[in-house]
């Protein structure tokens, strides 16, 4: 209180100002209009953020410390006139401050996940907007669409269910572009979906006209195995969006890098496991791209073994529906600490491990009965498919995870996750390796394994399993954790990156970082 | 008015704004420094004191100043205390600094003497204020803990991440998401381009 008064009085005693006349009743009216206009629905998290961004005006003293005090008569400046260099530094500081305030409102993150597209500006707070990462291409020749007369070429976002026509159309018209983290360069429909969903997200949060908005600083995140063409295509999409005034500058960072930033750890190994593949990426202030190890195994493989188990139990028809298979995996699948020990215990005491799944609103019920020991196969297959228990499934035709090459990256099919982490870390400088083992972060839905009550001696979670795999390879004293917020950590990382990286850090294909200004 | 706020009078005697608006769940106090009294030190003190009293008791508190006089004010002081600033001239009124929103019961609601509802209302108000204070305290503790952790991480063999001077280059405002708090990447990333020795392959 005293400081406010002192601050004000100091200026009052130093200045003389000529003031305009104003009728008090005009002021009361003007204030009531302005006040209610600003307060109506004006929350910072509102999608229609109407506020003008605060900028220090030429006749205001800057809010931050150390600012040059403009607006005072020359004779009342402080004795610190300063050299030209000092004045330039002060100008740079003011510009940095102004940019920082701009980015407080207009930094924008995009996480292109396998299933979901998470997006939004920094003003969303802790939780971004989420829509399914997919697009639907309606049959514009159908009678229904002709009757609508304005059928769009492609539909994204929450409107997709309104346009779905028949279930036969789903496979051909409903496109999930990021199914395995990468898009084939020739897949024009997938790229159309990416372009459209990006524009959809940006337009949703474009501020009302009339303020100083000049476009978002967009940070998009892609799989770390994305080829250069994916970056180029995304930059092109942002260039198109810039023509509508939506984008000021754009950059792309890898998903493991974004996870490390969102989690707040600058030296770590990120293991990101999604539907199609798993990436192991060490980070030390920068991603160590030469140490990246990619595994051609993910949640989709857990679905595959679950489907085989259902077929063996006589649920062949249900095993053909991917959504149902995924539900069985998530409800009944277990991750064993020691597969042989867990299977033996489950065979000796089947009632303790018995599991049933009933789908609400239907007559569909799955009961594993005496075969409930197979629950452990589902989790183990993801982490380590080399156990001989899986041979019978592979012999009978279940697809074996193979080594594949996508772009310059080889995805190994059959190595276990512990081996993948060791190979990745051992490609880094020796001095760095102990520090990397001390911070291993697991990210992605494929690591969400729960431990049911009464089964704690046999089932485990992903961090414990990873430690056990590393211990088998002689690596001890490791620390393995799940990311704090697995659903949003990539988006959090995008936002922090966009806010903190200086604007003059330009894009470089060598380091794969930096801002690319887009043509407005 | 279009937002459902109506001009009203506050019921608490120690809150004395020039204009008071109330709604269902919020209220706003505005203290006006008259253009003719700008040079009067007493008047300036009085308006600042009146605005300060309202902070925390109203959802938002504003001080309205003549535009020409605004250049002499260090807005940071008001921002730290959550007081918003309006500037006015003959034609327009502008919100130069948004006020911080305080969760509190509207001060225009009369308290029922001795009734159960009135007792509950005042207890709830007290709880909300305590909650706000606790939230602030937890936020400060988190930041202190993050800085202590950063100091203990200086044993790393990898090149040091932070130098104390670079801390000033990252302007961290109060209204950023919670995942910004204590995140060391803010400092690391703010130095991109200035220090290009890397471990990256």
Domain that holds residue B40: 6-97
Express each pLDDT in A230-267 by its tens digit: 999 999 999 999 999 999 999 999 999 999 999 999 99
Alpha helix ranges (H) inside A218-267: 228-242, 255-263
What proportions of chain B, in percent to the nearest 5, are helix, strand and coil?
40, 15, 45
In a domain, B110, yes or no: no
What's the full length of chain A, in residues?
Answer: 520
- Contact check, Cβ <8 Å, B75/A61: yes
Examine the domain organization and report whether B80 and B143 are in the same domain.
no
CB A380 within 8 A of CB A416: no
Phi first, then psi, for residue A498 (nearest 5°) are -65, -35
In a domain, B67, yes or no: yes
Per-residue model confidence (pLDDT) at position A3: 53
Whether residue A71 has pLDDT greater than 50: no
Whether residue B168 has pLDDT greater than 60: no
Return the domain boundaries, chain A: 106-264+488-517, 299-400
Per-residue model confidence (pLDDT) at position A32: 40
- Residue A157 φ/ψ region, left for φ over 0, alpha for ψ in the -120 to 50 degree band, beta for the rest: left
Spatial separation of the C-alpha atoms in residues B42 and B200, rounded to whole Å: 62
For domain A299-400, the question of CATH label 3.30.420.570 is answered with yes
Express each pLDDT in A43-66 by its tens digit: 333 333 333 344 444 433 333 333
Tell me which of A2, A16, A24, A30 to substitute to probe the interface with B (most B C-beta atoms closer than 10 Å): A30
Per-residue model confidence (pLDDT) at position A101: 83
pTM (2 d.p.): 0.62
- Contact check, Cβ <8 Å, B200/A288: yes
Nearest C-alpha neighbor of A374 from the set A443, A296, A315, A290 = A315
Fold match, A106-264+488-517 / A299-400: yes
Examine the domain organization and report whether B35 and B84 are in the same domain.
yes
Which one has a higher pLDDT value, A351 or A171? A351
Examine the domain organization and report whether B10 and B54 are in the same domain.
yes
Examine the domain organization and report whether B127 and B182 are in the same domain.
yes
Express each pLDDT in A3-56 by its tens digit: 555 445 544 444 444 444 433 444 444 344 333 333 333 333 333 333 334 444
DSSP-assigned beta bridge partners for residue A319: none
Examine the domain organization and report whether B74 and B18 are in the same domain.
yes
Whether residue A407 has pLDDT greater than 80: no
In a domain, B185, yes or no: yes
Express each pLDDT in A87-136 by its tens digit: 666 666 666 667 788 898 999 999 998 788 999 999 999 999 999 888 98
Whether residue B163 has pLDDT greater than 50: no
Quote the minimal CA–CA distance from B186 to chain A in Å: 5
Per-residue model confidence (pLDDT) at position B2: 57
Per-residue model confidence (pLDDT) at position A515: 96
ipTM of the complex: 0.76
Nearest C-alpha neighbor of A215 from the set A247, A238, A171, A193 = A247
Spatial separation of the C-alpha atoms in residues A47 and A38, rounded to whole Å: 15
CB A252 within 8 A of CB A270: no
DSSP A76-97: GS-S----HHHHHHHHHHHHHH
Q: Which residues of A touch B22 (CB under 8 A)?
A: none
Between A340-354, B116-130, B144-158, the lowest mean confidence (pLDDT) is in: B144-158
Per-residue model confidence (pLDDT) at position A73: 38
Which of B62, B97, B132 is the last residue in one of the domains? Answer: B97
Whether residue A450 has pLDDT greater than 60: yes
- Contact check, Cβ <8 Å, B36/A19: yes
Which of B97, B124, B152 is the last residue in one of the domains? Answer: B97
Which residues are CB-neighbours of A497 under 8 A, at least 6 positions away?
A219, A251, A253, A258, A261, B185, B189
Spatial separation of the C-alpha atoms in residues A47 and A124, rounded to whole Å: 8
Spatial separation of the C-alpha atoms in residues A418 and A271, rounded to whole Å: 10
In a domain, B196, yes or no: no
A257's tokens: 């890098």
Q: Which residues of A touch B4 (CB under 8 A)?
A: 40
Whether residue A350 has pLDDT greater than 80: yes
Examine the domain organization and report whether B84 and B150 are in the same domain.
no
A454's tokens: 């009464």
Of B19, B73, B76, the CB nearest to A28: B19
In a domain, B51, yes or no: yes
Spatial separation of the C-alpha atoms in residues B78 and B75, rounded to whole Å: 5
Mean pLDDT for B32-50 is 85
What proportions of chain A, in percent to the nearest 5, are helix, strand and coil?
45, 15, 40
In a domain, B199, yes or no: no
Q: Strand, helix or coil at B37?
A: helix
Per-residue model confidence (pLDDT) at position A291: 95
In a domain, B1, yes or no: no
Count Cβ neighbours within 10 Å for each residue of A438-460 and write b for 16 or more, e otherwise.
ebbbbbbbbbbbebeeebeebbb
Q: Which CATH superfamily is domain A106-264+488-517 in?
A: ATPase, nucleotide binding domain (3.30.420.40)
In a domain, B197, yes or no: no
A122's tokens: 């920094």
Nearest C-alpha neighbor of B87 from the set B38, B54, B53 = B38
Number of domains in chain B: 2
Whether residue A282 has pLDDT greater than 90: yes
CB A449 within 8 A of CB A458: no
- Contact check, Cβ <8 Å, B60/A39: yes
Nearest C-alpha neighbor of A120 from the set A133, A106, A101, A104 = A106
């Amino acid at each position: 209180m005293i400081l406010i008064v002192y601050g004000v009085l100091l200026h009052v005693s130093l200045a003389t100002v000529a003031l305009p006349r104003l009728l008090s009743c005009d002021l009361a009216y003007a204030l009531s209009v302005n006040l209610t206009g600003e307060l109506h629905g004006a929350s910072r998290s509102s999608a229609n953020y109407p506020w003008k961004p605060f900028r220090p005006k030429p006749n205001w003293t800057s809010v931050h410390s150390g600012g040059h005090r403009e607006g005072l008569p020359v004779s009342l400046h402080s004795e610190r006139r300063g050299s030209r260099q000092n004045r330039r530094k002060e100008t740079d500081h003011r510009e940095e401050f102004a940019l920082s305030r701009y980015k407080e409102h207009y930094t924008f993150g995009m996480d292109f996940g396998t299933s979901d597209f998470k997006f939004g500006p920094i003003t969303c707070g802790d939780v971004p907007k989420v829509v399914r990462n997919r697009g639907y291409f309606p049959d514009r020749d159908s009678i229904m669409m002709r009757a609508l007369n304005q059928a769009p070429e492609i539909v994204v976002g929450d409107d997709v269910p309104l346009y779905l026509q028949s279930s036969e159309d789903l496979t051909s018209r409903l496109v999930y572009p990021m199914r395995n983290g990468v898009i084939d360069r020739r897949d024009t429909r997938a790229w159309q979906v990416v372009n459209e969903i990006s524009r959809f997200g940006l337009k949703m949060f474009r501020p009302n006209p009339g303020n100083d908005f000049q476009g978002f600083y967009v940070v998009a995140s892609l799989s770390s195995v994305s080829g250069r063409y994916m970056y180029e295509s995304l930059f092109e999409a942002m260039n198109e969006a810039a023509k509508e005034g939506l984008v000021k500058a754009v950059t792309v960072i890898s998903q493991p890098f974004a996870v490390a930033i969102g989690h707040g750890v600058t030296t770590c190994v990120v293991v990101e496991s999604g539907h199609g593949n798993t990436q192991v990426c060490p980070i030390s202030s920068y991603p160590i791209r030469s140490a990246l190890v990619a595994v051609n195994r993910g949640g989709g493989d857990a679905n595959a073994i679950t489907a085989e188990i259902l077929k063996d139990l006589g649920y062949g028809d249900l095993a053909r529906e991917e959504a149902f298979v995924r539900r069985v995996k998530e409800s009944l699948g277990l991750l064993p600490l020691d597969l042989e020990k867990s299977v033996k215990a489950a065979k000796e005491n089947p009632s303790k491990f018995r599991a049933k799944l009933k789908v609400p609103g239907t007559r569909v019920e799955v009961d594993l009965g005496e075969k409930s020991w197979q629950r452990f196969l589902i989790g183990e297959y993801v982490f380590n498919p080399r156990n001989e228990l899986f041979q019978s499934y592979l012999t009978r035709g279940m697809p074996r995870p193979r080594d594949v090459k996508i772009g310059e990256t080889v995805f190994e099919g059959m190595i276990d996750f512990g081996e993948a982490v060791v190979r990745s870390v051992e490609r880094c400088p020796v001095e760095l390796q102990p520090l990397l083992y001390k911070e291993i972060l697991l990210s992605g839905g494929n690591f969400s394994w729960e431990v049911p009550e009464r089964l704690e001696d046999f089932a485990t979670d992903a961090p414990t399993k990873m430690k056990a795999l590393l211990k088998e390879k002689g690596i001890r004293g490791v620390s393995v954790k799940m990311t704090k917020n697995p659903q949003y950590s990539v988006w959090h990382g995008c936002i922090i990156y966009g806010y903190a990286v200086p604007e003059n850090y330009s894009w470089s294909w060598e380091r794969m970082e930096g801002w690319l200004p887009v043509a407005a | 008015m279009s937002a459902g706020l109506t001009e009203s009078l506050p019921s608490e005697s120690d809150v004395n704004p020039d204009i008071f608006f109330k709604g269902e769940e919020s209220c706003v106090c505005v203290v006006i420094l008259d253009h003719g009294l700008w040079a009067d030190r007493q008047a300036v003190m009085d308006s600042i004191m009146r605005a300060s009293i309202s902070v925390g008791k109203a959802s938002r508190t504003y001080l309205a100043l003549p535009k020409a006089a605004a250049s002499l004010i260090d807005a940071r002081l008001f921002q730290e205390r959550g007081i918003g600033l309006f500037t006015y001239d003959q034609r327009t009124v502008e919100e130069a600094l948004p006020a911080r929103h305080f969760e509190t019961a509207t001060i225009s609601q009369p308290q029922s003497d001795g009734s159960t509802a009135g007792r509950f209302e005042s207890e709830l108000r007290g709880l909300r204020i305590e909650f706000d204070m606790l939230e602030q305290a937890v936020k400060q503790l988190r930041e202190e803990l993050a800085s202590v952790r950063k100091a203990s991480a200086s044993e790393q063999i990898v090149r040091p991440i932070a130098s104390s001077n670079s801390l000033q280059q990252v302007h961290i405002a109060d209204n950023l998401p919670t995942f910004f708090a204590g995140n060391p990447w803010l400092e690391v990333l703010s130095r991109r381009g200035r220090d290009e020795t890397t471990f990256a392959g």
